[in-house]
Amino acid sequence: MLKYSRKGVLAVAAALSFAASAAQAEDHVVLIVDGSYFPSVVYANPGDNILFHNNSDASHTVNGPEESWTSGPISSEAMFSLKVEETTPPTFTGLGSDGTEAEGEIIFAEASD
């Protein structure tokens, strides 16, 4: 009987391990380049992170609508990480220190091939 219990426990542990890795958060990199975001549309789910990497020569600030969240100034070659939550607004905008404006969108779904 003990052998069967151990096998059952191992099977449950393996299943839980697989489920945990399948539900693992993803990191999505968004490059800030000369007044625009690349990509400008991010497919993400709650728990994922959006990493804004400033590839421009000027500092840049990224904001949610009505400043629901803000990165603060991101200097050149620096990064800002946004943890996506169910309440995260689906759009973001930004302003570079040189006056350039950019817009982006978060779509709460897996990217289609």
For 80, the domain range is 25-108
Q: Is 93 a member of any domain?
A: yes
Q: Is 11 a member of any domain?
A: no
Overall pTM surpassing 0.85 (yes/no): no
Q: Is 90 a member of any domain?
A: yes
The CATH number for 43's domain is 2.60.40.420
Rounded CA separation 39/32 (Å): 9
Count how many domains the chain has. Answer: 1
Which tens digit of pLDDT belongs to each residue from 25-45?
Answer: 899 999 999 879 999 999 999
Which tens digit of pLDDT belongs to each residue from 80-97?
Answer: 999 999 999 999 999 877
Q: Is 44 a member of any domain?
A: yes
Rounded CA separation 111/109 (Å): 6
Q: Is 15 a member of any domain?
A: no
